[in-house]
Each structure stands twice: as structure tokens, then as C-alpha cells.
Amino acid sequence: MSEALLDIAGLRVTFAGGTAAVRGTAIAVNRGETHCLVGESGCGKSVSALAVMNLLARGASRSADRLRFAGEDLLSLSDTGMARLRGNRMAMIFQEPMTSLNPAYTVGSQMTEVHRRHKGSSRQVATDRAAEMLARVGITAPGMRLGQFPHQLSGGLRQRVMIAMALMCDPELLIADEPTTALDVTVQAQILRLLAGLQRDLGLAVLLITHDLGIVARVADRVSVMYAGEVVESARTNDLFARPQHPYTRGLLDCVPVPGKIRPGEPLGSIPGVVPRVRAGFQGCGFRDRCAFAMPECAAEVPRHAAGEAHDYLCRLAADWSGLRGAA
Ligand SMILES: Nc1ncnc2c1ncn2[C@@H]1O[C@H](COP(=O)(O)OP(=O)(O)OP(=O)(O)O)[C@@H](O)[C@H]1O
Ligand code: SF4
Ligand SMILES: [Mg+2]
């Protein structure tokens, strides 16, 4: 199999206060594929993405066994080399659109700046490209929108502008961090359709961060489930929904209403407790305080098991796990 476009192994991020936000994460995103990263709030999704882009907060330390993009080693890349890739060959849509769009500048000046910096284009070429990209993401009267400020746009339009801006330089990889969380469901569906269409038409690889399994079911080719700074399960989407292995993945899926599986009035599942804030030096399974199957061995290093082709999970439970399912 050819090398993944984005190949992450053993990624670790620790903050100055001692929080081990990411603890050995591995994710591989293939060209032309949508890979969803899911998990509850605080499990390390955004920090993983920011670590890839080398945009972590001051005081954070990042290390990895492997961090490669298109065959290039990101760990040995200089700041200038990284700045050349960022926004150009790999682009990111941030979790908060209002914090990444500068309120003091028009949409047009922010979009053209990206293109002029990376492609060395003239003002006119960059403006034409910006108008083309706004039209491409379904914004009518793009010429007028280019002259507007972010606060003059609705939430849905702002999100489309963010996507258009990210695609200005025709990137190979788009990282989209919760791109629809702040939107109502109809706009959310439009943005997801738009992303799926762009991904197909442009052959983009997309790493889509979300906590919404409904979104995952609709758009993902592959899913990685994160918990307490680790990817605890990774599989093709159909396989993950059909044969979840990790108790946390099962818990997440039990929280989703599935027509036909849940009877009217029947309560949905929930996972008691919250994601722990893990400190550097923490050992063992991060889920053990919430897991119905926890055993003393779970406090020691946890093995990773294969559960079929391109499906693996991080848990003490192995072959005997399916026999325990009825007890969950
Ligand atoms: N700048 C920072 N300084 C210290 N700790 C941080 C910082 N940024 C994030 N963290 C911590 O790192 C952990 C992972 O945070 P992260 O933002 O990646 O979560 P997330 O999975 O993206 O959650 P959400 O779904 O809420 O966006 C959390 O415990 C968070 O408090
Ligand atoms: S390693 Fe242990 S505590 Fe963690 S999910 Fe598996 S059984 Fe539960
Ligand atoms: Mg986040």
C-alpha cells in the first residue's frame, strides 16, 4: 500500500502545566479520503491537529515517532519550511471561525493575502481566485462578499468563507476542526455536502474533527476514536459501526439514537463520568475509571489488537471480548 498523505505515529503533546494532552497518537490519512477523528470534549482532537500544523500554544512540547506529510518529515522541517506548507499544501479550518477570520479586514483582503504569499500572485489574480473560490463554495455575488467584513456575514456564510480561504491554494490536505458545530442543522447539512463534494471533485484528503457520530456515518471513509489523548480504535467507517471493539467506542455508539434499534421512550445509553485530564507520566488505560470491564491489569501498559483488516483497538480485552458483550 502506498504511503499515507499524512502519517502520524507516536505523537505526544505536553503542556507547561503538565497536562499530557496527546499520548502516542497514530493516524494515517490517505489521499482522497475523509478520515474522521471523534471523541468527547477534551480528549485531544484539536491539540493533535494543531500539533500537525505546528501551531501549538507557547510552552507546549511536541514529539513523535513519525510525523510525515506527502513523504516529508515535518519534525525536521524549519519554521520557514513549515510556513511554506501551511495554508498552501495543508490547510486548516479552525474550531472558532471568528477567531481565525480577522474582524478588522475584509473577506477579500484576507483571502487574497494567502494566495499572494504562497503563490506570489498579483492582486488581480488573487482577487479572481478568491471570487472563484467563493462561488465554488456556493456563495452568490462573490464580488460583493469580498468587500465585506466577517461580522457582516451569517454563521453559515462565515464557515463557507473559511472553507474557501482554506482551499485558495489548492491544498492536498484539509484539516477541518468541528466545522459545523456552531451551525443549525440545515446549514450543517449544507456545509457537510459542500465538503464532501469538494473532497470528491478536488481529490482532497480531509481530516474531519467532530464529536458527532451522525456526521461520521455520513461522510467518513475511516474513523479514529480518541480518548484521553490516545486513539483507542481505528477502522473503516462501516466496520467501526458494525463491529466496535473498544468499550469507549461501544459507549459512544450507544449514545446515538438508531431508528429501528431504539424503541420510543427507551432511554439512550450514556457514559458516566468525564474525560480525565491526564498528567505526564500517567500509565495504563485512560478509560479505566469509566469502564465496566476494568481490571487491575488495565493500570499497566495496554496492548493494541488487530480486529480485522485495517481495524485496531487499544484495550486489555481481546478474543474473549465478544463473549462479554451481553454483560455490558
Ligand atoms: N493551551 C493549553 N494549555 C493547557 N492545556 C491545554 C491547552 N489547550 C488544550 N489543553 C488541554 O488539552 C486537552 C485536550 O484539549 P483539546 O482542545 O485537544 O480537546 P478537544 O478534543 O479538541 O475538545 P473539544 O471537543 O472540546 O474541542 C484538554 O485537557 C485541554 O484542557
Ligand atoms: S483496557 Fe481495561 S479499562 Fe481500558 S477499555 Fe479495555 S477493559 Fe476497559
Ligand atoms: Mg477541539
pLDDT for 194-237, tens place per residue?
888 888 888 899 999 998 888 899 899 999 999 999 999 999 99
Is 298 touching ligand 1 by the criterion CB < 6 Å? no
Write out pLDDT tens, residues 258-302: 666 656 666 656 777 777 888 888 889 999 999 999 999 999 999
Q: Among residues of the chain, what percentage have pLDDT more than 70?
A: 91
Q: How crowded is residue 11: how many other Cβ atoms within 10 Å of its Cβ?
A: 25
Average pLDDT over residues 176-193: 82
Atom of ligand 1 nearest to the CA of 43: 21
Taking 60 as the threshold, does the pLDDT of residue 12 lie above it? yes
Q: Give the span between the Cα atoms of 35 and 234, in whole angstroms.
A: 10
Among all chains, which residue has been given the C-alpha cell 491554494? 169
Is 149 touching ligand 1 by the criterion CB < 6 Å? no
Write out pLDDT tens, residues 153-173: 988 888 889 999 999 999 999
Atom of ligand 2 nearest to the CA of 298: 2
Average pLDDT over residues 6-26: 94
Is 316 touching ligand 2 by the criterion CB < 6 Å? yes
Residues 6+ apart with CB under 8 A from 167: 91, 133, 136, 137, 174, 198, 202, 204
The pLDDT value given to residue 46: 94
Proximal ligand: closest to the CA of 41:
1
Is 276 touching ligand 1 by the criterion CB < 6 Å? no
Q: Domains in the chain, please, with CATH?
A: 1-31+43-77+210-328 (3.40.50.300)
The pLDDT value given to residue 95: 79
Query: Which residue's CA lies nearest to atom 31 of ligand 1?
Result: 42
Q: The pTM is what?
A: 0.92
Which residue of 249, 287, 321 sits with most ligand 2 atoms within 8 Å of its CB, as the best mutation to test the pocket? 287
Cβ burial 99-132 (10 Å sphere, 16+ → b, else e) = ebbeeeebbbbbbbbbbbebeebeeeebbebbbe
Q: Give the span between the Cα atoms of 123 and 67, in whole angstroms.
A: 35
The pLDDT value given to residue 149: 95
Write out pLDDT tens, residues 33-75: 999 999 989 999 999 999 999 999 888 999 999 999 999 999 9
Proximal ligand: closest to the CA of 305:
2
Query: Which residue's CA lies nearest to atom 6 of ligand 2?
Result: 315
How many angstroms separate the alpha carbon of residue 265 from the centre of ligand 1? 35
Phi, psi of 57 (to 5 degrees): -60, 155
Atom of ligand 2 nearest to the CA of 297: 2
